[in-house]
Amino acid sequence: MEKKKILLIDDDKDFLIATKLILENGGYEVFLAEDGKSGLEMAKAVSPDLIIIDMMMETWSEGFNVVSKIRTTESGKKLPLIMLSAVDLQGPYHAFEPPDEMPTVDMVLHKPIKAEDLLKYVAQLLS
């Protein structure tokens, strides 16, 4: 059976490497991108089955920009997307202002995330 392909987009190299191992141990083929631009290029090149993207990379909105661009492509409209955030979106300070045109993601997960939780959510979205 062909392995499902997952694209990880995050500017934190340690996180990329650790998460790649988790997902590979879970039986997935994993592709890495360290910024939004290379993430978009990689998405075109490998046609992943799911993308996991960090919300804040070089700028706080970079993750949203990438998601918006993916959602405008034919293959990206229905692609499962998980957005990762180290920011507590439910926090008391609401320093987080989502963009007006909030692109749709299937799930927002908080870093750090436990390996078994990540695998569970990925499996749900790919089932």
Domain count, the chain: 1
CA atoms within 13 A on the CB side of 121: 20
Mean pLDDT (the chain) is 87
Least confident among 3-17, 28-42, 73-87, 99-113? 99-113
For residue 39, pLDDT over 90 is answered with: yes
Local structure of residue 70 (DSSP, 8 states): H
In sequence order, what are the beta bridge partners of 9?
33, 53
Domain extent, residue 75, equals 5-126
Stronger pLDDT, 82 or 98, i.e. the higher one? 82
pLDDT value of residue 50: 98
For residue 62, pLDDT over 60 is answered with: yes
The domain that contains 58 carries what CATH number?
Answer: 3.40.50.2300
Say which residues have a Cβ less than 8 Å from residue 22's Cβ, sequence separation at least 6: 115, 118, 119
